[in-house]
């Protein structure tokens, strides 16, 4: 199952489009299995859960870990120490904090800025109108490399609205001269791909049903 899902998805992705295997809610053994087949990038959204997995998978040095969940300020150090990418940087204050702690920890981390392109009380993110203004400041921060934008569609959006929203994210990234767009999950990755995503964050379509 896992092998078929993963191979099937990979086959459909053109060069330059990356599959982030979102392993939250799934056990370390499944991560090990995919990592041994060649999957490098794994996404987690809760630090505590991820720390247990890092312990179990410490021998797999090739894995790149991506933090994709809402990042509370008291979790920044743990995330900076252990992850290579953060997709969910949703404010200037958070970017500054990540940078300061990355300097202290002598680490460099790749970040993507989460943008809020639709009204959705359940999700945070930068207001797209402010990004143009804050991006020079964010680029000037030490020990973080800002390479792209991340977005999510509200749950009630249909396919057309999703494609539209992802298209907006792509144009905004282009305007800001950012290469990466982290967008598209199991239910809408095809729309995201058509709109120019470079990172698809796929959980259930790779690992199957996620309990809780």
Ligand X SMILES: *Cc1c(COP(=O)(O)O)cnc(C)c1O
**Under the criterion CB under 6 A, does residue 22 sit at the interface with ligand X?**
yes
Q: Site residues for ligand X, window 39-58 (CB under 6 A)? A: 45
Q: Binding residues for ligand X, how many (CB under 6 A)?
A: 14
Alpha carbon distance 199, 205 (integer Å): 15
Alpha carbon distance 183, 110 (integer Å): 16
Phi, psi of 114 (to 5 degrees): -80, 130
Residue nearest ligand X, Cβ-based = 203
**Under the criterion CB under 6 A, does residue 185 sit at the interface with ligand X?**
yes
**Under the criterion CB under 6 A, does residue 18 sit at the interface with ligand X?**
no
Question: Among residues 19, 21, 50, 68, which is the contact residue for ligand X, using CB under 6 A?
Answer: 68
DSSP 8-state secondary structure symbol assigned to residue 74: G
Q: Site residues for ligand X, window 186-205 (CB under 6 A)? A: 186-187, 201-205
Alpha carbon distance 74, 78 (integer Å): 8
Provide, rounded to whole angstroms, the least separation between the CB of residue 134 and ligand X: 22
Question: Among residues 19, 24, 42, 192, which is the contact residue for ligand X, using CB under 6 A?
Answer: 24
Q: Is residue 56 helix, strand or coil? A: helix
List the Cα angle 72/77/83 in 5-degree steps. Answer: 95
DSSP 8-state secondary structure symbol assigned to residue 126: B
**Under the criterion CB under 6 A, does residue 165 sit at the interface with ligand X?**
no
Binding site residues, ligand X, CB under 6 A = 22, 24, 45, 68-69, 185-187, 201-205, 210
């Amino acid at each position: 199952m896992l092998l078929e899902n993963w191979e099937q998805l990979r086959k459909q992705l053109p060069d330059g489009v990356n599959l982030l295997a979102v392993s939250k809610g799934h056990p370390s053994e499944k991560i090990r299995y995919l990592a041994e087949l060649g999957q490098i990038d794994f996404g987690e959204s809760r630090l505590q859960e991820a720390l247990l997995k890092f312990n179990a998978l410490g021998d797999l040095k090739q894995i790149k870990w991506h933090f994709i969940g809402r990042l509370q300020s008291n979790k920044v150090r743990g995330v900076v120490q252990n992850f290579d990418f953060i997709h969910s940087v949703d404010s200037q204050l958070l970017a500054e904090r990540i940078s300061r702690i990355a300097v202290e920890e002598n680490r460099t981390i790749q970040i993507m800025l989460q943008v809020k392109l639709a009204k959705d009380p359940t999700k945070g993110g930068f207001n797209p109108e402010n990004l143009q203004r804050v991006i020079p400041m964010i680029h000037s921060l030490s020990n973080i490399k800002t390479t792209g934008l991340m977005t999510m569609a509200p749950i009630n959006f249909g396919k057309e609205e999703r494609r539209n929203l992802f298209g907006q994210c792509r144009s905004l990234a282009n305007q800001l001269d950012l290469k990466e767009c982290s967008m598209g999950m199991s239910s809408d990755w095809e729309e995201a791909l058509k709109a120019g995503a470079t990172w698809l964050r796929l959980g259930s379509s790779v690992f199957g049903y996620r309990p809780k």
